[in-house]
Amino acid sequence: MSHRIIPVDPFDLVIFGGTGDLSRRKLIPGLYHRDADGQLPEEARIIGCARTDLDREGFRALARQAVMDHVAADHRDPQVVERFLARFEYVTNDVADDAGWDALRVMLEAASGPRIRVFYLSVGPSLFGPIVEGLHRHGLSQGARLVVEKPIGHDGPSAAALNDTIGAAFDESRVYRIDHYLGKETVQNLVALRFANALFEPLWNARHVDHVQITVAESLGVEQRGPYYDRAGAMRDMVQNHLLQLLCLTAMEPPHHFEANAVRDEKLKVLRALKPLSGHEALAASARGQYHGYADEAQNPDSRTESFVALKAEIGTWRWAGTPFYLRTGKKLRARLSEIVVTFRRTPHQIFPDLDAPLAPNALIIRLQPDEGITLSITTKDPGPGGFRMRETPLDMSFGARAGTAWRMPDAYERLVLDVVRGNQTLFMRRDEVEAAWAWVDPIIAAWEASGATPEAYDPGSDGPYGALDMLSREGRRWRVLTP
């Protein structure tokens, strides 16, 4: 399959936290693939910035290791690797003090010609504010673009405060708040499915859709991120950003144009139309769980942090009133599986006699990972003479398989970093979206805290806590099974 390579202009990408996990696992490998595809201009530089005392060669060695560890052998071309590594520079800078900023300025001013300047904050969230202030104080923010990792704040007020700090140094048109789920191929395919086909739009509403399930299930636990995760929990780590963004793309009205502010305006309307949940209503519309063994991993024996959350969200619009959106995410579950399932209403009248069970409703399954693709589940007649038996038949589109074996599914970061250089904010969150998401999430967390209840325990490798199953069965529905 051929894909179009859109060249980008010369750029300097400064990665604060260039020595960290995200940089090594995602950013450096993603940039390597773009270089291998010929998309990076000759002048482009990648400048690592962290406290560790490294020189240019030391950082190139780190980048080489990142490529060896995270780029498949059949995609590693020795010539491209050398060309790629020659782009790397390094500045030692402890952003907590003022000493290292001049070195960064000297490095940036040594550029061979005019170029786009991007600062990527791949550091812990407590450093977002100090780095933005440092850039501003040292005159480096002017005209530059800023990429901010998640989490943006811990709640609405802290997100607003951080956004104020950012806004004092960077105009919103130069701020790129990353939600890497928006860079996933199938998430963009959801947009294509909805807005490049006439087929679904007439059915995409409460009259025809019974309910929507959005699942992001992980089989791994919190691993090395216990201390961060224990302060966040599944609600702040996953629901406030990734799951609500998926909900927005599923539920939003067609934007007048596939352009940053038009798309973000429509997503914002969805967030603002979410029925507020607080107090008893929040408790009834949610379930929380914590897997056995979590407290040890998080190094907090008294932890009340949820590693699983399920929620019923309702959108108060003409299109969606009466169609619940069920959200579910958790760690250490039966399988790693992310999907959006749109279940349509049953046929209004059953004409086939003698069926053993009611006909299954049609469902559209958008698989984000693994095995990216889309399945439409329809009912067909079982072949054979005599009688009229039915079965559910999947109309299956697997994107990986369709694209052929030579094709590689690009990682979300690969696209997003280059979108920043291209100046395309469509797949990034605007300030008001982030704050609207917190405005929905905060009262739910407050209700949990006020209840004094602890999250329900669940077994690693299971489908999550009983409370989540109960939440749906009370409404005569079932979660889709988490099949690996």
**Residues at the interface with ligand BG6 (CB under 6 A):** 150, 218, 237, 338
Rank residues 49 and 374 by Cβ distance to ligand NDP and give the closer one: 49
As given in the structure block, the two tokens for residue 209 are 């859709």
Which strands sit side by side in the sheet containing 175-178, from one edge to the other? 88-92, 45-50, 11-16, 116-121, 145-148, 175-178, 428-429
Minimum gap (Å) between residue 168 Cβ and ligand NDP: 20
Q: Shortest Cβ distance from residue 224 to ligand NDP (Å)?
A: 9
State which H helix or E strand residue 148 sits in: strand 145-148
Using CB under 6 A as the binding rule, the residues of this chain from 147 to 206 that contact ligand NDP are 149-150
Nearer to ligand NDP, 179 or 463 (CB): 179
Residue carrying structure tokens 């750029």:
11
Residue 124 binds which of ligand BG6, ligand NDP, none (CB < 5-8 A, kind-dependent)? ligand NDP
Q: Which is nearer to ligand BG6, 64 or 336 (CB)?
A: 336
Residues belonging to the chain: 484
Residue 93 C-beta: closest distance to ligand NDP, Å: 6
Instruction: Give the H or E element holding residue 165.
Output: helix 156-169
Interaction with ligand NDP in 94-153: which residues (CB under 6 A)?
94-96, 122-125, 127, 149-150
Which residue number places its CB atom closest to ligand BG6? 237
In the complex with ligand BG6, the residue whose CB is nearer, 125 or 156, is: 125
Chain residue at closest Cβ approach to ligand NDP: 20
CA distances to 29, 91, 153, 295 from 236, rounded to whole Å, are 27, 32, 9, 18
Q: How far is the CB of 166 from ligand BG6 (least distance, A)?
A: 19
Chain centre distance of CA 140 = 29
Segment 15 to 44, residues that bind ligand NDP, using CB under 6 A? 16-17, 19-23
- How many other C-beta atoms are found inside a 10 Å radius of the C-beta of residue 104? 22
Q: Give which of ligand BG6, ligand NDP, none residue 218 binds (C-beta under 5 to 8 Å, depending on kind).
A: ligand BG6
Find, among 70, 482, 10, the residue nearest to 62 by Cα.
Answer: 70
**Residue 260: its H or E element:** helix 260-273
Do residues 340 and 214 lie in contact, with contact meaning Cβ atoms separated by under 8 Å? yes
Beta pairing, strands 337-344 & 286-291: unpaired
Site string for ligand NDP, 414-443 (x = CB under 6 A): ------------------------------
Cβ closer to ligand NDP: 94 or 102?
A: 94
Shortest Cβ 303–ligand BG6 spacing (Å): 16
Q: What are phi and psi of 253, to 5 degrees?
A: -75, 160
Q: Among the options 33, 180, 211, 242, which is catalytic? A: 242
Residue 362 interacting with ligand NDP (CB under 6 A): no
Residue given tokens 């108060």 in the structure block: 316
Instruction: Return the H-helix or E-strand segment holding 456.
Output: strand 456-458
Binding to ligand NDP, residues 44-63 (CB under 6 A): 50-52
CB within 8 A of 167, min separation 6: which ones? 175, 431
Helix or strand or coil: residue 477? coil
Q: What is the Cα–Cα distance from 250 to 187, expressed in whole angstroms?
A: 9
Closest distance to ligand BG6 from the beta carbon of 391 (Å): 32
Q: What is the DSSP letter of 479?
A: P
Q: Which is nearer to ligand NDP, 23 or 425 (CB)?
A: 23
Residue 237 interface partner, choices ligand NDP, ligand BG6, none, CB cut-off 5-8 Å depending on type: ligand BG6
Region of residue 143 (phi > 0: left; psi between -120 and 50: alpha; otherwise: beta): left
Count the neighbouring beta carbons within 10 Å of the beta carbon of residue 76. Answer: 13
- Minimum distance of ligand BG6 from residue 93's CB (angstroms): 25
Q: Scan residues 78-97 and list those touching ligand NDP (CB under 6 A).
A: 93-96
Select the binding partner of residue 343 from ligand BG6, ligand NDP, none (C-beta < 5 to 8 A, by kind).
Answer: none
What's the rounded Cα separation, in Å, for the pair 283 and 340? Answer: 24
> Which residues have C-beta within 8 Å of that of residue 8, sequence separation ≥ 6?
39, 40, 41, 44, 418, 421, 422
123, interface contact from ligand NDP, ligand BG6, none, CB < 5-8 Å by kind? ligand NDP
Nearer to ligand BG6, 100 or 125 (CB): 125
For residue 242, indicate whether it is catalytic.
yes
Please state the closest distance from residue 206 (CB atom) to ligand NDP, in A.
34
Interacting residues with ligand NDP (CB under 6 A): 16-17, 19-23, 50-52, 93-96, 122-125, 127, 149-150
Looking at the annotation, which residues are catalytic? 242
